[in-house]
A and B are shown apart, each in its own frame.
Chain A
Amino acid sequence: MSERLSVLLLDDEPIVGKRLGPALTKIGCDVEAFEDPKLALERIDQKTFDVVVTDIRMGEIDGMQVLDRVRTKSPRTRVILITGYAMMELAREAMEKGAFDFISKPFKANDLRQVVAKAARELGVSMDLESPAIPGR
């Protein structure tokens, strides 16, 4: 088992990667951030990540397609979907297709860290959550 959780972060808004990448690195993740879904899928084909965090609405390729591709390639990988257009039917569809979690924007970085930490526990990867940014939550 890897000692550090490998995470692929995909969102076509640059600010998301800039904000969430360091937030996940702080708790011991190895993060690769992408804005282009095509490049992200190429990387997913090359490497098996522990966790993939992906936006849903990104133009030509959406997060549900990324979910399908990841689940086909590596059922072990936990896929977390994030979206600013959350709706009940979309959430249910995502879970049915095997998403690990579904988070609506806006959210705090700590919310995502909690979910990633939960994924890490399921994968048997230890994480350092002893960060001042996560006070006992």
Chain B
Amino acid sequence: MSIIIISSDSTKMGEEIAQKTAQALDYACLGRDLLDIVADQYGIPKEKLEWALEALPSAWGRSAGLQGQCLAYIQSATLSELLKDNMVCHGLAAHLYVVGVSHALRVRILADPVELAREISGQGDLSPEKGLRLIDRQRKSRRQWSRTLYQLDETDPSQYDLVISLSQIDADEAVKIIAQTSRYRRFAPMTYSLRCIKDAELAGRVRAALLEAFPNVKVRADGGTVIVETKGTRRNKLKKAAAIKEQVQNMEGVDYVEVHVKNGPFKKAP
């Protein structure tokens, strides 16, 4: 059950490299098609899910909560798929939440700047200066998006196991490098890493189930034990904890639920 996660500053190249890598390794490829399933499962339009993956977060209003919810649903569905088989994953922000799983090879693809500028602008010829400005603006935007929503900078190369620049290496060579790297023993699944991803999937699934009623909830899982943290007032603490336990305890994979309701003003949950 090997996992390769492709992240790119170019949606087009990320998808192309992911599909070619999956083909080369005879792995399944997981991409934005998953959003159709997520849309059906949670009753949210696919366009909203795509918006959540692209739009700069707003600190105010309903849209902030809705974006978090959409991303939680996408995360839960993606992690569930990643449990199944050898997989190449792209376009679902998995590089930001499949973290610490030793058999997940995280790859960053840097598109050729000229091609990237064309893709961003949707235009043919651009001056180099204009192209660089567009790329810089996009990079800042993605940095803000990933830092706000996942407390990680997706443009930081140190987040990845492998970074490939397509201005020096063509796509087919990049695929060969990724395929070869994925065969290193250090990226082989082991009992510990399989447990890490199972825990992540369980936590993600529980959080997705709770978010509508409890928007500020944080969830961790350790084996079948699920630990839920949320905020509440002294008055509704017990009632809140009981409601969460009731919702979670019969979910698949849950053996035991612990709920911590902390006093204090609501802060935005990561």
- Tally chain B residues at the interface, Cβ within 8 Å: 14
Q: Which residues on the A side are within 8 Å of B193 (C-beta)?
A: 88, 91, 102
Residues of B with C-beta under 8 A to A111: 191
Chain A residue nearest to B187 (CB atoms) is A92
**Secondary structure of the B side of the interface?**
helix
A122 interface residue (CB < 8 Å to B): no
Q: Is the CB of A92 within 8 A of B191?
A: no
Q: Is the CB of A86 within 8 A of B185?
A: no
- The answer to whether B185 and A91 have CB atoms under 8 Å apart is no
A104 within 8 A of B: yes
The answer to whether the Cβ of B51 comes within 8 Å of any Cβ in the partner chain is no
Q: Chain A contacts of B185 at CB under 8 A? A: 95-96, 98
Q: Are B195 and A104 in contact (CB under 8 A)?
A: yes
Q: Are B195's CB and A95's CB within 8 A?
A: no
Question: Does A91 lie within 8 Å of B184, measured CB to CB?
Answer: no
A67-96 interface with B by 8 A CB criterion: 86-88, 91-93, 95-96
Residues of B within 8 A of A127 (CB): none
- By a CB distance below 8 angstroms, the chain B residues around A95 are 102, 185-186, 188, 190
Per-residue CB proximity of A109-137 to B under 8 Å, as 1/0? 00100010000000000000000000000
Contact B186 A92 (CB under 8 A): yes
Asked if A92 and B102 sit within 8 Å, CB to CB, the answer is: yes
Quick check: is A36 within 8 A (CB to CB) of the other chain?
no
Flag whether A41 is at the interface (Cβ < 8 A).
Answer: no
How many A residues have CB within 8 A of the partner chain? 17
Q: C-beta contact mask, B191-211 vs A, less than 8 Å → 1, else 0? A: 111011000000000000000
Q: How far is the CB of B262 from chain A (nearest CB, A)?
A: 27
Give the contacting residue for B191; candidates A88, A93, A96, A102; CB below 8 A: A102
**A102 and B186 in contact (CB under 8 A), knowing A88-B102, A92-B102?**
no
What CA separation (Å) do A88 and B100 show in the bound complex?
5
Q: A91 to B195, Cβ gap below 8 A? A: no
Beta-carbon contact of A103 and B188 below 8 Å:
no
What residue in chain B is nearest A96 (Cβ atoms)?
B186
- The answer to whether B102 touches A101, judged by C-beta atoms less than 8 angstroms apart, is no
Question: Are A86 and B186 in contact, with the CB atoms below 8 A?
Answer: no
A96 engages B190 (CB within 8 Å): no
Give A63 Cβ to nearest chain B Cβ, in Å.
13
Residues of A within 8 A of B (CB): 86-88, 91-93, 95-96, 98-99, 101-104, 107, 111, 115
